[in-house]
Every structure is written in structure tokens, then in C-alpha cells.
Amino acid sequence: MSDRKEFRDLATPEAAREAIDSLDLSPAPETVPLENARGRVLSERIDAAIDVPGFDRASMDGYAVRARDTFGADEADPAELDLVGAVHAGATPEVTVEPGTCAEISTGAVMPDGADAVVMVERTDELDGEGGDLNAEGDAPDRIAIRTAVAPGDHVMSAGADIAAGARALGPGTRLTPREIGLLSALGVDEVPVAGTPRVGIVSTGDELVRPGDELDPSRGEIYDVNSTTIAAGVEEAGGEPVLYPHAGDDYDEMERLLRRAADECDLVLSSGSTSASAVDVIYRVIEERGDLLLHGVAVKPGKPMLVGRLDRREDADAPGPSAYIGLPGYPVSALTIFRTFVAPAIREAAGQPEPATATVEGRMAVGERYGEGRMRLMPVGLLDLDDGDRPLAYPVDKGSGATTSLVEADGVVAVDPDTEYLDRGERVSVQLFSPDVRPPTLLGVGEDDPALNRLLDRLESPRYLPVGSREGLRRLRDGVPDAAVVAGPTDREVDAAYLGGWTREWGLVVPGGNPDGVTGLADLVDGDVRFVNRPTDSGLRRSLDDALDDLAADRDASRRDLADRIDGYELTVRAFESPVRKVLAGDADAGLGLRETAERLGCGFVSLGEQSVSVRAAPDRVERDAVAELAGALDDLDDAADGGGKPDLLADLAGYSRNSRNDP
């Protein structure tokens, strides 16, 4: 009686994928030194622990000034300032810019105390002590003529302008390329948490196989073992660690010994050969007797003889539970086809690696872009595939040549010809990807920065979020680029958008612990001797502050501008929600605009000025996209968690936070 194993009821490809998805071949996360992290995938979010840059620095050569001293200056009537010294890059400033003075400054140098702007050297003249042009060679100037007016912050890169402390630097699932490693280096990170590399044991079976390099006897039907090295290369390309074992013959005991050894030592065991319906093919019996055979045979060509199952480990094996097992066909073409179609995606998922991408992508401009400098432009762009059958959107990403995050937020560059003055919206462009491994984000969001938002993004698959502020976020949503915008506080922009959900947060004034200046509200900023640090006008917090200042001005029968002029530092703005707290902690300000959550977490005092609504809004024509639906589902989880649902509450342990109604506030 024959013991031949017949194929019965071949599994569909979908069923084969489901069977493989049910296997656990994910290794435990690990921590590796930054220098060994290239190509690895983050297992958790990394937030910036410092501001980059960590100080206010000059963005060009010129003179550090108090902007107020230049108001009204022009070519015909320059402002003359006393030169008090020089500040060079890499040196601690030893001068203070008092009213009516200036200091020479180099690109990248720390801004000296008292200065809040830089005048480029091309718009200045050196003067002698009498006020005339300095012509004598070698003479040092006494005064500088300023031939242009500047505003506070002009030609200054403020601390945290690249990335601010507390900002979400990189999210879980990010593949670490030289771009991300550069950003982590700038943040001072020396080791990173990454997804483990799945170990994949490879066993080729068959009495006819001979290892490459050994002598071949064709008369016996011997062939070289092609599959071991081919599949090992595929495993490594997919992000796994291949482990090659001696090839097994068609003997049951030898097959069992090798497979169980591989199962004890690896997360996944791959065999090739001995899977067809032959009397000598015994591997399926090993799986049935020493594990769990989930399927034998799949309805694909090539590659019908395929096994999926689990192999039991010894009780003293390093890893608990069974090892995953997949049997590939013996023919090299079939084996590689099945591997690429079914196995490689599972290894990539276990390793946290993205699907492969081509090095060049044809895209379409998301917005019009004007350029007329007469030079070739390598324009950094991000990509967003809307799954609408058209080319992906390519949107410009450019925060300046000194900003490391421009590279992380972009997927590639568009080479713009010097003769091209304008790229029209919808125009076809060729995007050169930074790497063939680059994958566009599944969802593009823009708008306000927020601690709860960081947690929300962690629950999404490969999102990209640009913290451009509430006002700018709404503008971009109106222009049709992002999928969603996060908006905090009141807004005067009317944008057609779908409300997905949101939360409220308590905002106010961050002060040093113990509140040494006795700050109780906005009136103390206006009337007292309190140094203040503000947020940019695009920030929702700034809009709420200005509205509160309007109310105070109405009570005093004054204008907001009048009161703002009396606040020391009202025009001094910092980038992110944690930045004002850092300024207060460093002693650079007595009060800052911020959140109760950040103040309490970093050990500062807090003076509440009210609650602010944060809403997540989607472009109406994107609501049906899977990524937007996933975002809406994550926001529903926020409500469900607060009602005792299954997932952890997004707002847990965030002081001053509560959830909005499911309806648009």
C-alpha cells in the first residue's frame, strides 16, 4: 500500500497568506549603537530631548543688532551704530549689544545678549570715529552704517527652529537610513531601540543535492544546491538573518533532526524540496508528527507544492513556543517565486522593513511652485499616493539648507531645469528617491503640535506629520495637499473639511517652580517686570493668547497692540509646545506660553488661562481613504478607551487633557 501524500483541496493564495500571517516569526526588540543602526527599524518613538540648534544663531555674516535700532534705516538715511566687538562661530559671545550698538557676527555664531536680528554685511558700511567711510587699510571701524531695516528674528535661526525639544523626531516603524541617523546624531542619541532581526534557518532537502564547490557526479543525477544561497540572499534582502544548515537527504530521521535543530535556533525555518506528492517526500510527516501542518499545496503556478506549519521546540530552547515553518518547492524558479510572493513580505513585516520601491517615481505636483534663480534646483519633495490610479502627489519640502529634518520629511528630489520658472499644479515630475527603499507615507497630516497627537500618530501605519501650526495647516488643507489637519483653538479660516474627532487641553502661562514672580495672569505680563516667551502666529496657542489679550484690552479701553508692546518678549517666539518650558527652565524667561501637561511633566509651575479645543479635520475627498479611516478609527478608540474600551487611553497621564464630543465642537 502506497504512503504517497496526495494534494487535496489546494489552498487559495489568500488562504496561504492567512496561514503565514497566523505564524509568529517576530523576534524581540533590541537596542543597538547608533553606528550599527543603518537599515534597522525603530521599535518605538524617539522624541527630541534637546533643541536643534541649541542656541539662537546667525544664519549669515553681518552684524548682530537690536532690530528696533534699525527701524526707518534705508540707503538714503542709514542708522549708525557703535561697534562693540565680534562674535565668531564656536566661541562664547563676550559682548552685549546695548541700544545704539552692534557686534560683528559670523554665520553659525551664537547671538550675543541684547541682539535679536542680524543685518547682512552687504547692507552695511564701516565708518571711522568721525562718521565717514573707512578707507584706510588696516584701520578698525568704530561705527557701522546700517542701510536697511530689519525685524526681530531676521537672519537668525532660533533655538529649536530645526527641531524642538519634545518634538516627535522619528516614529516607530521608521527605517534608519543615513538621513535619520544624521538627525539622531544631531539630537545626541548614541543608541536606538530597533525591531529585532528574524533568524531564518534554511534547509535544502534531497539526496541529489551537492553543495557548490563539492565534486558533482551527473551520472547519479546530482545537482548543485541552488536554493540555499538564493533563498539566503532573499532573506537578507528582506531584512532577516539567514542561517544555513547542512542539506538533508530524504531520510526521515535526518530530516527530523535538522528541522528540529533549526526550529530551536531560529524564528522561521525554510526548507526547499521534499514537498511534492512523492513516496520519498517525508517532510510533511515530520511537520505533522513534530508540529502543526496548516496547509499542503497552494493553487499557484509555479509553486503548487508548498507547506505552512509550526515546529515544536525543545523545552530548554531560547525562545518560547513553536517556530514558524514554510516549505518551498524544490525547483529553484518555483522556490524563489513562492519566496518572493509569500515569504519575503512576512519576513519584512517581522523585521519592520518596508516594501521595496523603485529608485525613480513619476509624480504630479501637489501645488504650484515658482522658481526663477537661473540655477538647477534639486527640490526636496515628499510623496503621497492617494490610491486613485493617478501618479502620487509630490509636494515641496524645504525648511532651509541648515535643517536636518528637511531630509527626513522628504522622499526624494525633483531636478528643476534652470530655465523652468514655474511648476504648475498637477504637472508631471520625475522624483529621484533618496533610496530604492523609500516608501511614501500612508497618511500626510499637518498642523498643530501636541503631546496627545504624538501618541495618536504612533497608532497609525507609517504616517508623516508636518507641525506647521494651525493656521498654516488649514491653508494647506484648503490647497488640497494633506489628508488631514490638526487645528487648535479658534480660527478665522473657513475650510471645507470633515471633522474626525479631537480633545481639549489646558493652556496658560508656564512659570518657574514656586512661581517666584507671583504671576497670576496676563495682566502681570503687561504691568510687571516679567520676561515672556511666546509662540509663533501660526500656533493655535498664540491665537488663544491674542484673543485673551483682546479681552484684557477691551476691559482697559485699549488696543491689543498697546498691551502687546508692554509685554517684554511678546515678539520672541519659539517653535514647539515644549520650547517655552525649556526657556523658563534655562532662566531665559520668567514666563512662557504653554500647556499644563508640559509644565507639570518638566517640573514647572503653571497659571491656567483656559481650555482649548484640538480638532482633527480631513479633506472631504479623502475621507474614504484607508489611511484616513484608520485615523478616524484611532480617534474613536480615544472615546472608547475613555468609556472603558479595550485599548489604552490616548489621553492617560496627560495633565489638563480631556476628550471632545464625537460631534464637531
Complete DSSP assignment for 447-460: E---HHHHHHHHTS
Lowest pLDDT segment from 205-214, 284-293, 509-518: 205-214
How would residue 399 be classed by pLDDT, with cut points 50, 70 and 90?
low
Tell me which of 373 and 588 has the higher pLDDT. Answer: 588
Give the pLDDT confidence score for residue 428 in this predicted structure: 96
CA-nearest of 269, 262, 266, 271 to 199 is 266
Q: Which CATH architecture has domain 360-440?
A: Beta Barrel (2.40)
Distance, in Å, from the CA atom of 211 to the CA atom of 664, rounded to the nearest integer, reads: 67
Of 72-81, 176-185, 212-221, the one with minimum mean pLDDT is 212-221
- The CB-side HSE value for 621 (13 A sphere, CA atoms) comes to 9
pLDDT score of 27 more than 50: yes
**pLDDT tops 80 at residue 318:** no
Give the contacts of 188 (CB within 8 A, at least 6 positions apart): 49, 50
Query: Which of 334-348, 419-433, 525-539 is least confident?
Result: 334-348
Cβ proximity of 448 and 540 under 8 Å: yes
Quick check: 611 pLDDT over 70?
yes
Angle between helices 451-458 and 626-642 (to 10 degrees): 120
* Predicted confidence (pLDDT) at residue 1 exceeds the cutoff of 50: no
Confidence category of residue 648, pLDDT binned at 50, 70, 90: low
Band (pLDDT 50/70/90 cuts) for residue 595 is very high
Count Cβ neighbours within 10 Å for each residue of 82-106 and write b for 16 or more, e otherwise. bbbbbbeeeeebebebeeebbbbbb
Separation CA 345–CA 268 (nearest Å) = 13
Higher pLDDT, 397 or 590: 590
CA distance 606 to 599: 6
What confidence tier does 411 reach under pLDDT thresholds 50, 70, 90? confident
H and E: helices and strands count for the chain: 16, 35
Mean pLDDT for 189-195 is 95
pLDDT: which is higher, 137 or 474: 474
Mean pLDDT of the chain: 87
The residues, any chain, with a CB within 8 Å of residue 316's CB and separated by 6 or more, are: none
Asked whether the predicted pLDDT for residue 662 surpasses 60, the reply is no
CB 498 within 8 A of CB 614: no
Res. 4 pLDDT band, cuts 50 70 90: very low
Residue-wise burial string across 28-43, b where 16 or more C-beta atoms lie within 10 A, e elsewhere: eeeebeeeebeebbbb
Radius of gyration of the chain (CA): 32
Using the structure block, give the residue that is written with the C-alpha cell 503621497. 384
User: 20 versus 216: which is more confidently predicted?
Assistant: 20
Mean pLDDT of 175-188: 92
With the C-alpha atoms ordered 95, 98, 104, 108, is the resulting torsion angle positive or negative?
A: positive
Residue 401 banded pLDDT, cuts 50, 70, 90: very low
Average pLDDT of the residues in 71-94: 96
pLDDT band at 154 (very low <50, low <70, confident <90, very high): very high
Mean pLDDT of 78-83: 96
Task: Determine the 3-state secondary structure of 239 from DSSP.
Answer: coil
| Cα–Cα distance measured from residue 261 to residue 252, given in angstroms and rounded to the nearest whole number | 14
The pLDDT, as a whole number, for residue 141 is: 82
Q: How far apart are CA 525 and CA 169, in angstroms?
A: 33
Q: If you average pLDDT over residues 570-577, what whole number do you get?
A: 91
Q: Closest Cα to residue 204, out of 259, 254, 248, 236? A: 248
Rounded to whole angstroms, how far apart are CA atoms 491 and 463?
Answer: 25
Asked if residue 357 has pLDDT above 80, the reply is no
Q: For residue range 198-215, what is the model confidence (pLDDT) as tens digits?
A: 999 998 776 666 666 677
- Identity of the highest mean pLDDT range in 216-225, 312-321, 333-342, 380-389: 380-389
Q: Hey, what amino acid is at 25?
A: L
Q: Which CATH class is domain 13-28+196-351?
A: alpha beta
Q: Is the pLDDT of residue 5 over 60?
A: no
pLDDT at 185: 94
Least confident of 279-283, 327-331, 587-591: 279-283
Fold of 57-157: Molybdopterin biosynthesis moeA protein; domain 3 (2.170.190)
Instruction: Categorize the per-residue pLDDT at 642 as very low, low, confident or very high, splitting at 50, 70 and 90.
Output: very low
Looking only at the bridges linking them, the beta strands covering 605-618 and 498-511 are antiparallel
Instruction: Write down the pLDDT at residue 138.
Output: 53
Instruction: Using the predicted structure, report yes or no on whether residue 224 has a pLDDT greater than 80.
Output: no
d(CA 27, CA 262): 15
Question: With 70 as the cut, is the pLDDT of residue 524 above it?
Answer: yes
247 versus 153: the higher-pLDDT residue is 153
What pLDDT, on the 0 to 100 scale, is given for residue 137? Answer: 54
All residues at 6 or more sequence positions from 70 whose CB lies less than 8 Å from its CB, including other chains? 79, 117, 119, 146, 148, 149, 150
**pLDDT value at position 544?**
96
Which residue ranges make up each domain of the chain? 13-28+196-351, 30-53+161-194, 57-157, 360-440, 451-659
Q: What SS3 class is residue 572?
A: coil
pLDDT of residue 192: 96
Q: For the chain, give the percent of residues with pLDDT over 70.
A: 87
What residues form DSSP beta bridges with 307?
Answer: 296, 327
- pLDDT band (50, 70, 90) for residue 3: very low
Confidence of residue 289 (pLDDT cuts 50, 70, 90): confident
Domain 451-659, CATH among 3.30.1490.120, 3.30.70.260, 1.10.10.60, 3.40.190.10: 3.40.190.10
Amino acid at the residue 431: V
The cell numbers describing 104, all together, are 560683528
Query: Which one has a higher pLDDT value, 637 or 446?
Result: 446
- Output the CA angle 461-465-466, nearest 5 degrees: 165
Is pLDDT of 197 > 60?
yes
pLDDT value, residue 103: 97
Q: What is the pLDDT of residue 279?
A: 34
**CATH superfamily, domain at 30-53+161-194:** Molybdopterin biosynthesis moea protein, domain 2 (3.90.105.10)
Burial of 199 (0-12, 13-18, 19+ CB in 10 A): buried
Higher pLDDT among residues 482 and 305, named by residue: 482
**pLDDT band with cut points at 50, 70 and 90 for residue 251:** confident
